Amino acid sequence: MTRLKPLYPKDMTPPHRDYYDSIINRPNNQHMPEDAPLTGPFHAWQRSPAFAEKLAVLEQYLRKDGLLEPRLLELATIVVGRIWSAEIVFGSHGPAAVAAGIDSEIVEAIRRRETPTFAKRDEEAVYRFTYQLTTEYEVDETVYQAALDALGEAALVELVGLAGLYVTASMTLNAFKIPVRPGMARPYPDKQ
């Protein structure tokens, strides 16, 4: 059970409502019922609209204008989500990773906390870099060089930012015990 009460549009201040509208009007939220409270980390971030808006700028840049192609962006996202056992992150982005071109066996291995076998060098580099940075808080020279060779400096900087963004999202989900969205299957057997 979430630690935060739902914020319904009728009860929102103008800044809360502006943020709500910016999230609810995204194409991936068109299925949301009218006047439904936000879900996922947005449910918590809405409490601080100024903070939430800053995160949204970063998120939208990385997803729409950033240097990481969607396949690698989604891969890094599910790696972080699984490390943190953040169900909504994996429940949303696992299918998105497959849709973007990540092999479903790789996604399933990550879900089961197994090290995947990669056919593509850039995917392996992104996985190992993201995993090592998120679990060990640093990256050894071999893993760093493989990621640098695969991505280049600028995209590698953005990969670090993406991982940090999804650590923030995962921490938010876990700290406030935000459940999966209605109708979303819980992806982790160890969390049930």
State the CATH number of the domain containing residue 100. Answer: 1.20.1290.10
Domain contains 6: no
Domain contains 92: yes
What are the tens digits of pLDDT across the range 118-159? Answer: 999 999 999 999 999 999 999 999 999 999 999 999 999 999
Of the three residues 47, 62, 77, the one that is the final residue of a domain is 62
Number of domains in the chain: 2
Structure token digits, residue 140: 């050894």
User: In this structure, are residues 179 and 6 in contact, taking their beta carbons and an 8 Å threshold?
Assistant: no
| 141 and 46 in a common domain | no
| 29 and 84 in a common domain | no
Residue 186 has a pLDDT of: 84
CA distances to 73, 76, 126 from 107, in Å: 13, 11, 14
What are the tens digits of pLDDT across the range 82-95? Answer: 999 999 999 999 99
| 148 and 78 in a common domain | yes
- The amino acid sitting at 84 is W
Average pLDDT rounded to a whole number, residues 39-44: 93
Residue 35 has a pLDDT of: 84
User: In this structure, are residues 155 and 146 in contact, taking their beta carbons and an 8 Å threshold?
Assistant: no
Domain contains 154: yes
Q: Which residues of 135-174 are buried (b: 16+ CB within 10 A; e: fewer)?
A: eeeebeeebbebbeebbeeebbebbebbbebbbbbbebbe
Domain contains 24: yes
Q: Judge whether residue 2 has pLDDT over 90.
A: no
Domain contains 187: no
Domain contains 82: yes
Domain contains 93: yes
Residue 191 has a pLDDT of: 67
Q: Judge whether residue 181 has pLDDT over 90.
A: no
Ranges 15-24, 76-85, 121-130: which has the least confidence: 15-24
| 83 and 50 in a common domain | no
- CA 176, 14, 29, 8 torsion: positive or negative? positive
For 39, the domain range is 11-62
